């Protein structure tokens, strides 16, 4: 559902009203509570409070009982508009400092208030007409949240909940949440020995184990195999640059607070790169190019760094060290369409390979009402946006236009994928950029012998590999397809007597290019089989007296009860990867 559709929906109104009912319940729990904000969100709602006494998840049941009473009372939800002065006076009387701050920051002559019984809240709405229309709800969790997202301001208590128009819908959603908990990459990653975080290294800086690195490298190799067919070349760049580079690119002015800076002993300011594109412009700028030599396509899988706030970090989904499978194409205007189509083909192939076949598209465009947020002239943006929309139509894409979601230097195509739990994720992105080439004076000599500005295309296929893997781990629940599984087979000799034959099986697997482990621990066979199942290994190969005599292997496939016997010389048929 599009944001606009959601905000006009009955579901949005139900959730918005549920957040106000939660505030009323919070006041019953703590009459000294201070109210901050309580909006609906994609899958529910939340409200931020400052309590005079601690509130934990054990208290959610108490809040739910209070909310149920308010809902059962079927109280009217009344809307009124007050002058700015009247609204401020009302809020000040109620001793609600966060609401006062909100009102003081609003320039509108009229302020909207929604009232349920004694509770009146500054709010634009919309809401349902009475509390009885909130048919099914559930409070989910308690978290900390800085007031207005600013770590220098007060830490508030955020209570999350969800609401639906029927109990059946709520139950289905709660079942999905339970399944999502089982698939949580923050739990599965360490369980499957893929990645970890260390307090000594720092929050938001994941460390990848050998198995985790196989995942990263296998995916990156596959993307590169697609790119090389399209004529890309690999480049490499340093992880730091002088601040001058980012001042010229515009990143310094737009994102200075998000940059990680290094001061040298000579007094120079360097930056841990937040983006790769400025570096790549300098590779292109190394010489004069003829129109016949274009396009130049540079690919580079490397880390970038962002000074994310600690409270916003979330497993692999949001980190401070971000690995981008980044590429930049420098081309003539008449080559843009073909280059965009080539990138689109790569995106389609990768996402089909990993099981995301029905991609939708967001065309992220400039907000014409906030021109100061973007580089470049309006006419340049309009031309680039028209190019992307024409491309989406040519690809018969299911697309929506999202004004205000563009990068500061150009519009982009964001690819949206739905995982096995039907959750939508923004992953790959293509950005069309006519501004950085202008800022860096990137030109070519055209067929008339004159200088002409190149067009720059940014293409991240996985985007952030960390975030991409967080989605994949949960999509597959760790049951990776054979081609991607870090360990594709475990060899289990029944006892020490059969380790030598296990080694012979290992040699055969190595010759086949299969990733395997030989588990010759002294534990029982049953326990070793369970360990392999917990590690979600696709194939378990058992060898004992009969297998040695017949030169065979007993194969157990992941998720299947029946075993089968395979000749050692025919093991390749088991591991034929489509």
Q: Any idea which residues carry the catalytic annotation?
A: 277, 306, 324, 326, 328, 412, 458
**Residue owning tokens 């540079």:** 298
Q: Report in angstroms the alpha-carbon separations of 428 from 349, 495, 532.
A: 12, 48, 33
Distance CA 462, CA 417 (A): 12
How far, in Å, CA of 493 to CA of 89, rounded? Answer: 79
What length does the chain have?
578
Please enumerate in sequence order all residues whose Cβ is within 8 A of that of 451, keeping only pairs 6 or more positions apart, or say none. Answer: 443, 444, 445
Alpha carbon 370 to its chain centroid, in Å, reads 26
C-alpha torsion sign, points 493, 494, 495, 498: negative
Q: From CA 556, how far away is CA 553, in angstroms rounded?
A: 10
Residue 239 corresponds to which tokens in the numbers above? Answer: 């992880």
Using CA atoms, how far apart are residues 577 and 373, in angstroms rounded to an integer? Answer: 48
Residues 6+ apart with CB under 8 A from 552: 546, 565, 566, 567, 568
Write a three-state SS string for 549-574.
HHCEEEEEECCCCCEEEEEHHHHHHH
Asked if residue 547 lies in contact with residue 531, where contact means CB atoms within 8 angstroms, the answer is: no
Listed in order, strand segments (DSSP E) in 181-320 are 195-196, 207-208, 233-234, 240-242, 260-263, 269-272, 296-305
- Extended strands (E) in 51-109: 77-83
**What are 38's two structure tokens?**
């309580």
Cα of first residue to Cα of last residue in the chain, in angstroms, is: 35
CB 305 within 8 A of CB 276: no
Identify which of 306, 308, 283, 305 has the alpha carbon closest to the alpha carbon of residue 296: 283
312 is written with which tokens?
A: 């916003």
């Amino acid at each position: 559902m599009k944001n606009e559709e959601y905000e006009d929906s009955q579901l949005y109104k139900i959730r918005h009203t549920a957040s106000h009912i939660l505030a009323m319940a919070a006041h019953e729990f703590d009459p000294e509570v201070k109210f901050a904000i309580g909006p609906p969100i994609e899958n529910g709602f939340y409200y931020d409070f400052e309590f005079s006494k601690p509130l934990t998840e054990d208290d959610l049941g108490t809040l739910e009982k209070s909310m149920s009473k308010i809902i059962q009372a079927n109280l009217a939800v009344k809307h009124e508009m007050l002058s700015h002065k009247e609204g401020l006076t009302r809020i000040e009387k109620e001793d609600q400092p966060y609401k006062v701050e909100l009102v003081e920051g609003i320039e509108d002559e009229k302020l909207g208030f929604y009232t349920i019984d004694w509770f009146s809240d500054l709010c634009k709405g919309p809401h349902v007409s009475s509390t009885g229309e909130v048919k099914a709800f559930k409070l989910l969790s308690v978290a900390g949240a800085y007031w207005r997202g600013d770590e220098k301001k007060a830490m508030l208590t955020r209570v999350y909940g969800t609401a639906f128009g029927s109990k059946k819908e709520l139950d289905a959603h709660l079942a999905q949440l339970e399944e999502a908990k089982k698939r949580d990459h923050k739990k599965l990653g360490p369980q499957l020995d893929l990645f970890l975080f260390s307090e000594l290294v720092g929050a938001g800086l994941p460390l990848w184990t050998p198995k985790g690195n196989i995942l990263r490298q296998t995916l990156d190799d596959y993307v590169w195999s697609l790119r090389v067919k399209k004529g890309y070349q690999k480049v490499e760049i340093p992880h730091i640059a002088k601040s001058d580079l980012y001042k010229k690119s515009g990143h310094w002015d737009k994102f200075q607070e998000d940059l990680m800076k290094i001061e040298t002993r000579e007094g120079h300011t360097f930056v841990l790169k937040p983006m790769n594109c400025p570096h790549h412009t300098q590779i292109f700028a190394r010489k004069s190019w003829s129109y016949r030599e274009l396009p130049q396509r540079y690919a580079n899988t490397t880390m970038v760094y962002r000074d994310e706030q600690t409270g916003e970090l979330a497993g692999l989904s949001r980190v401070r060290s971000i690995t981008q499978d980044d590429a930049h194409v420098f081309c003539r205007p008449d080559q843009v369409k073909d280059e965009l189509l080539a990138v689109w083909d790569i995106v389609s192939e990768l996402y089909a390979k990993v099981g995301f076949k029905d991609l939708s598209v967001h065309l992220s465009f400039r907000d014409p009402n906030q021109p100061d947020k973007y580089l470049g002239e309006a006419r340049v943006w309009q031309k680039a946006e028209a190019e992307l929309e024409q491309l989406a139509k040519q690809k018969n894409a299911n697309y929506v236009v999202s004004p205000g979601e563009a990068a500061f230097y150009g519009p982009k195509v964001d690819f949206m994928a739905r995982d096995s739990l039907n959750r939508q994720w923004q992953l790959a992105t293509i950005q069309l950029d006519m501004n950085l080439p202008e800022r860096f004076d990137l030109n070519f000599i055209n067929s008339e012998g004159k200088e002409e500005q190149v067009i720059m295309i940014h293409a991240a296929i996985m985007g952030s590999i960390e975030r991409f893997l967080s989605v994949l781990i949960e999509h597959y629940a760790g049951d990776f397809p054979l081609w991607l599984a870090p360990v594709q087979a475990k060899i289990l000799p029944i006892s020490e007597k059969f380790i030598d034959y296990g080694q012979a099986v290992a040699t055969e697997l190595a010759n086949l290019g299969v990733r395997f482990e030989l588990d010759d621990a002294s534990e029982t066979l049953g326990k070793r089989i369970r360990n392999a199942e917990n590690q979600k290994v696709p194939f378990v190969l058992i060898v004992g007296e009969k297998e040695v005599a017949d030169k065979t292997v007993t194969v157990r496939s992941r998720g299947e009860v029946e075993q089968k016997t395979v000749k050692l010389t025919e093991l390749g048929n088991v591991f034929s990867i489509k």
